[in-house]
Amino acid sequence: MLEINDEDKKIILESIRDISDFPKEGIIFKDITTMLSNPKAMDTLMNHLENRYKDYNLDYIAGIDARGFIFGAILADRLNLGFVPIRKKGKLPYKTISQEYSLEYGSDEVEIHIDSFKKEDARVLLIDDLIATGGTAKASEDLIKKVGANCVECCFIMELSFLNGKDKFSSPVYSVLEEN
């Protein structure tokens, strides 16, 4: 499996801005908007993802609301695949199923259309910008399985590995960048 090289990793990492004390004191927020506005960094990232996944025999890319939509749609286009959005509850217009997940204080839900994957046993790549504790992404992986598809891998642009979020998944997890 193709891993990103050090030179490309540096280009991407240097394009991501750290914001101290956001959304609350003590948190260092990884702001990808600076990467999105950097054509060289985006092209480097998307070339890497395209090369990594071109031989996975995927049928669909599923992206998590909202930043996963950006990377997922671009990658789906590059690989000539369909894109499926996994959204926050109440945002999809057709019949959906939902999956609840825990937050620090309370819970939330994500949804997917019941007919998202037209191919039986579809091979799906799940993608999002960041994995921290893994709650939203694990719920999204579960939704893919609930509608009869196979989550081949969960891909994240950045992983906060000290939070051990990837330990929740039954599918393999790949993170382009890792923050210890």
pLDDT higher than 90, residue 27: no
For residues 12-20, give the mean pLDDT.
96
56-179: CATH topology: Rossmann fold (3.40.50)
Q: Is the peptide bond before 93 cis (omega within 30 degrees of 0)?
A: no
Does 100 participate in catalysis according to the annotation? no
Tell me the CA end-to-end span of the chain in Å, nearest whole number: 22
Q: CB-based burial of residue 39 (10 Å sphere; 0-12 exposed, 13-18 middle, 19+ buried)? A: exposed
Location of structure tokens 């930043």: 67
Nearest to 86 by CA among 36, 133, 31, 125: 125
pTM: 0.96
Q: Tell me the sheet residues that pair with 110.
A: 88, 99
Average pLDDT, the chain: 95
Spans of all domains in the chain? 56-179
Q: Is the peptide bond before 66 cis (omega within 30 degrees of 0)?
A: yes
For residues 38-56, give the mean pLDDT.
98
Residues 7, 25, 104, 120: which is the catalytic one? Answer: 104
User: Over the range 135-153, which residues count as b (16 or more CB within 10 Å of their CB) and which as e?
Assistant: bbbbbbbbbbeebebebbb
What are the tens digits of pLDDT across the range 126-154?
999 999 999 999 999 999 999 999 999 99
Instruction: Please report, rounded to a whole number, the percentage of residues in the chain having pLDDT higher than 70.
Output: 99
pLDDT higher than 80, residue 1: no
What are the tens digits of pLDDT across the range 54-97?
999 999 999 999 999 999 999 999 999 999 999 999 999 999 99
Residues 50, 67, 78, 179: which is the catalytic one? Answer: 67
Location of structure tokens 């669909």: 60
What is the pLDDT at residue 105? 75
Does 17 participate in catalysis according to the annotation? no
